[in-house]
Copies of this chain bind each other. A is one copy, B any other.
Amino acid sequence: MGKPEIAKLGHVALVSTDLDQSLKFFKEVIGLEETTEIDGVHYLRAWGDFQHHTLSIEQGEDSYVKWIGWRTKTKDCVLGFKKLLQEANVVVEEFPMGSTPGIGNTIRFQLPSGHTFEFYYDVDKPEAASEYKSILKNQVYQAHRKGISPRRIDHVNIHTSTNANHTFDFLLDTLGFNLREYVKGDEGILAGWMSVTSLVHDVALVQKSALPSKARLHHLSYWLDNSQDILRAADILREQGIPFIGPGKHGISQAIYLYVMDPGSGCRVELFTGGYLIFEPDWEPIEWTRDEQLTVGNTYWGDSVQDKELNNITIEAR
């Protein structure tokens, strides 16, 4: 068998110090659907997400990300990755089917940065309850039922205070991500946008010199179909009294964005649309200097992410 491969971002497992507020935010304001609740863990997904859940939330003493889940291309890839990781002296934990509702056999391990990744292949794809089910056979729920109503999960953005080069190497060489765009510093890559799919990034990694802990989640992202949806989201959030950054457009990734924090957990969500798809097999990573990042890359136009206190807030990833 060849090199094991990741198919796609699966989900983020979130712990919140204020579950009620987090559920209100993700279910009513963002507008995610709840697949199920088991043992106090709420499993959520967007109307266009095809699998069991793309976000789980549970009550905790601290707010943090338990792990970031990824689906592999085949069942064998899970074992393939286990072998590969162990050969690279990475500690791998295994969990049998059923440990997490909706997900099969699982392995969990830490990136050099300290972020926990979870790999699995088998997923349940439960239908929506009949009253919310789309008449489209290729769509799970009716769209636009409530709140901001994004279509699907898109990516995660993680921060590290460790030397990011180790983690970039790990993500690119061991896990098989492709580098799509990056910011070059004197001592290597300061920020990199990487994907296994045609998206510009399934994961972005940013090195920051000072962070409250070494592994942080800057945001998880849900995708909307139209740029006007982002402006509608701004109206909704403003009326709810929830602060946000945006709308704006990144030069890097070309995403039209809005950043908002879950008032329950402090976990930031990027609502985004636009961007571009990469189908070229010989994609040459786009290099941005630090200066280009600041003038065009971070904010092509709009409400800037730079120099905002709000933009520095991250949530711990364990």
Q: Give residues in A with beta carbon < 8 Å to B.
A: 2, 7-8, 48, 50-51, 71-74, 121, 134-139, 142-144, 146, 151-152, 181, 197-200, 225-228, 231-232, 234-239, 241, 244, 246-249, 251-254, 256, 273-274, 276-277, 279-281, 286-288, 292, 296, 300-304
Give chain B nearest CB distance to A5 CB in angstroms.
9
Give chain B nearest CB distance to A280 CB in angstroms.
5
Using Cβ atoms and an 8 Å threshold, which residues of chain B touch A251? 135-138
Whether the pair A143, B247 counts as a contact (CB closer than 8 A) is no
Whether the pair A50, B302 counts as a contact (CB closer than 8 A) is no
Give which listed residue, B7, B198, B236, B304, contacts A303 with CB less than 8 A.
B304
Q: Which residue of B lies closest to A303 (CB)?
A: B303
Give which listed residue, B139, B232, B287, B303, contacts A254 with CB less than 8 A.
B139
Count of identical protomers in the assembly:
4
Q: Which residue of B lies closest to A275 (CB)?
A: B225
Give 9 CB contacts A-B under 8 Å: A7-B281, A8-B279, A135-B251, A136-B296, A143-B235, A228-B228, A231-B247, A247-B302, A303-B304
Using Cβ atoms and an 8 Å threshold, which residues of chain B touch A248? 303
Give which listed residue, B246, B286, B300, contacts A238 with CB less than 8 A.
B300
CA distance A256 to B237 in the complex (A): 16
Give which listed residue, B137, B231, B301, contacts A234 with CB less than 8 A.
B301
Whether the pair A238, B301 counts as a contact (CB closer than 8 A) is yes
Whether the pair A225, B137 counts as a contact (CB closer than 8 A) is no
Using Cβ atoms and an 8 Å threshold, which residues of chain B touch A235? 143-144, 249, 300-301
Whether the pair B281, A71 counts as a contact (CB closer than 8 A) is yes
CA distance A49 to B302 in the complex (A): 25
Using Cβ atoms and an 8 Å threshold, which residues of chain B touch A302? 234, 246-247, 302-303
Whether the pair B181, A296 counts as a contact (CB closer than 8 A) is no
CA distance A247 to B286 in the complex (A): 27
CA distance A237 to B246 in the complex (A): 18
Using Cβ atoms and an 8 Å threshold, which residues of chain B touch A7? 279-281
Using Cβ atoms and an 8 Å threshold, which residues of chain B touch A142? 236, 239
